[in-house]
Amino acid sequence: MSRIAVIGSCNVDLTVEADRRPGAGETVMGRRLVISPGGKGANQAVAAARLGADVWMVGCVGDDANGRMMLDTLAREGVHTDYVKVLSGVTTGTAHITLAEGDNSIIVVKGANDRVDEACVDAAWETIRSCDMILLQHEIPLATNGYIVRRAAEERLSVLLNPAPFEEVPAEILEKITYVTPNEHEAALMFPGLSREEILSRPACTVLMTVGADGVLFGGEEGPETVPGFTVPVVDTTGAGDTFNGAFAAAVSEGMAVRDAVRFANAAAALSIGKIGAQGGMPRRAEVEEMLTCRKQES
Ligand code: RIB
């Protein structure tokens, strides 16, 4: 069983389904409100745990009902929560999501996630350093991520950074990361002036560029390779990227080759969009394996 440490955000997602988004100064009626666990960190932790990894979450929640909901959900999913701090005087992170016209738009209020600092990392370090992979995203302070990456590099630990939402990562930090998983837009901001081929063939960290339903591009031994995605009916794409990251981390930590791990993660991400909520559709291992087998037989 692979061991994964996720240092990142815990948010409660408040998702409103509506026919369309309101314009500035306009009010529209929503169809329903769904309150569910989310946050890129917690989502990636749950995705990896459902696929069989032993996962530790390191983060912060507020001393409120949303914080309790996040801790309960993580524990129910089998994610270790010993290093999720409960802070008083600050709210648990929330994401305010509009699901309309076939896509989502999200405003995140960081709350307690902004308090994930070096002390939180130090308290968990003995566990973090025993893991096969460390997963990071951009919903906790950038300085904390930098601290983790430097410490991990000193001990030659594998780190995967999902650079979402986009923030500029210092070159010195980027060079120390094992895998980075930007979407096309984030990749262009992260590596300004470089072509796709140049981004994918950089010698330092392995770039896995997600290109929506088209799949994922990465630099293989003989140049850029594409691993196609799976076409499935869409209910809610929220958390699909997180499912990809959690699944890839779980698979590659088990020793799967990068190409196979990307295909595995593409299947998990495709399955995740069939239900509402970031974690609602995240699959278990057997579902991913069944999809991979069926699609192989189809092709
Ligand atoms: O990636 C999806 C996640 O982004 C949501 O669960 C929401 O919490 C935001 O952080």
Q: Which atom of ligand 1 is nearest to the CA of 11?
A: 8
Would you call 101 helix, strand, or coil by DSSP? coil
User: What's the domain range around 93?
Assistant: 3-18+33-298
CA of 203 to the centre of ligand 1 (A): 31
* Residue 46 is assigned to a structural domain of this protein: yes
| Centroid of ligand 1 to alpha carbon of 94 (angstroms) | 9
Give 13-64 pLDDT, tens digit per residue. 999 999 999 999 999 999 999 999 999 999 999 999 999 999 999 999 999 9
In a domain, 28, yes or no: no
Question: What pLDDT shows up at residue 212?
Answer: 83
- Take residue 270 and report the two structure tokens written for it: 């495709």
Q: Is residue 51 within 8 Å of 250, Cβ to Cβ?
A: yes
27: in domain: no
Look at residue 9 and tell me if it is in a domain.
Answer: yes
Task: Compute CA distances 166 → 145, 148, 181, 215, 277, whole Å.
Answer: 13, 18, 11, 20, 22
The residue contributing the CA closest to ligand 1 atom 6 is 38
| Residue found under tokens 């996962």 | 55
Does residue 23 belong to any structural domain of this protein?
no
Q: Is 238 in the pocket of ligand 1 (CB under 6 A)?
A: yes
pTM over 0.85: yes
| Mean predicted lDDT score pLDDT of the chain | 95
C-beta of residue 50 within 8 angstroms of C-beta of residue 282 = yes
Output the CA 278–ligand 1 centroid distance in Å.
Answer: 7
Give the ligand 1 atom nearest the CA of 94: 8
Nearest CA residue ID for atom 1, ligand 1: 239
Q: How confident is the model at residue 297 (pLDDT cuts 50, 70, 90)?
A: low
Q: 105 lies in a domain?
A: yes
Q: What are phi and psi of 214, to 5 degrees?
A: -75, -15
User: The domain that contains 269 carries what CATH number?
Assistant: 3.40.1190.20
Would you say residue 26 lies in a domain?
no
Q: How many domains does the chain have?
A: 1
63 is catalytic: no
Smallest CA separation from ligand 1 atom 7, residue: 39
**Ligand 1 atom, smallest distance to 12 CA:** 8
